[in-house]
Amino acid sequence: MPKMKTKSGAAKRFKIRASGSIKRAQAFKRHILTKKTTKNKRQLRGITTIHPSDVASVRSMLPYA
């Protein structure tokens, strides 16, 4: 049986924590930032966890993580 492949796009976007939760970067912080308020941009800093409904699909894309 061949090895399963990890989806490289998902490997770049998600990391699995030691607790098993999956972290991701915040969206809407790449471009068109001039029209966004300073408060909005500040709150988009850092990382967050993925939504519980997306956990199964992300885990299937990262079989060895």
The count of domains in the chain is 1
User: Average pLDDT, stretch 31-54?
Assistant: 97
- pLDDT on residue 20: 95
Residue 33 located in a structural domain: yes
- pLDDT on residue 65: 87
Model confidence pLDDT, tens digit, residues 3-39: 999 999 999 999 999 999 999 999 999 999 999 999 9
The CATH number of the domain holding residue 48 is 4.10.410.60
Edge-to-edge, what's the strand order for the sheet holding 14-16? 14-16, 22-25, 47-49
Banded pLDDT at 51 (limits 50, 70, 90): very high
Print the domain residue range for 22.
8-61
Separation between Cα atoms, residue 54 and residue 36, nearest integer Å: 27
Examine the pLDDT at 45 and tell me if it is beyond 90: yes
Total Cβ atoms within 10 A of residue 64? 8
